[in-house]
Amino acid sequence: MPKIIDVTFPGGKKVDAHYGGRTVCTDQSVKNGGDASAPEPFDLFFVSLATCVGIYALEFCDARKLNTDKLAVQMIADFDREVKRYTEVKFILTLPDDFPEKYIKAITKTVNLCTVKKHIMNAPNFEVEIV
């Protein structure tokens, strides 16, 4: 079943995405001519990566009834000014103090299964159709 997202333009540099009865609002920074009233679209790209890794970590712990206090994910993306794009993305997974040593390799493997990351690594074909 295809994922369908409808995009509207409520004014200024704002662009909203509507899907499944929900709306995600975006805006450009003041520097880019917007009001900075919402995240920029590219920021949501990174947010989707970080939260995807986060849900995989959370579900790993929940499935094993492991403590999730202090479970955290930090994502650091490095921008290469020469090629004008982000060239490295690093995820730092902070585990609870009582996290069992025997699960460290397994949780690492699990968070690497993040669906968003897998789509980037094996990119879909993109097409624009004009109507």
Q: Which CATH number covers residue 108?
A: 3.30.300.20
Burial of 5 by CB count in 10 Å (0-12 exposed, 13-18 middle, 19+ buried)?
Answer: exposed
pLDDT digits (tens, 9 = 90+) for 81-104: 999 999 999 999 999 999 999 999
Look at residue 1 in the predicted model and tell me its pLDDT. Answer: 86
Do 91 and 66 belong together in one domain? yes
Residue 21, SS3 per DSSP? coil
Look at residue 46 in the predicted model and tell me its pLDDT. Answer: 96
Residue 64, SS3 per DSSP? coil
Among 57, 93, 88, 89, residue whose Cα is nearest residue 74: 93
Res. 115: pLDDT tops 90: yes
Look at residue 45 in the predicted model and tell me its pLDDT. Answer: 95
pLDDT, average across residues 31-52 = 97
- Structural domain boundaries enclosing 33: 1-39
Q: Give the pLDDT band of residue 113 (cuts 50, 70, 90).
A: very high
Do 71 and 48 belong together in one domain? yes
Do 73 and 50 belong together in one domain? yes
pTM of this structure:
0.90
Distances (CA, A) of 14 to 25, 43, 49: 7, 14, 22
> Per the structure, how many domains does the chain have?
2
How high is the mean pLDDT of the chain? Answer: 97
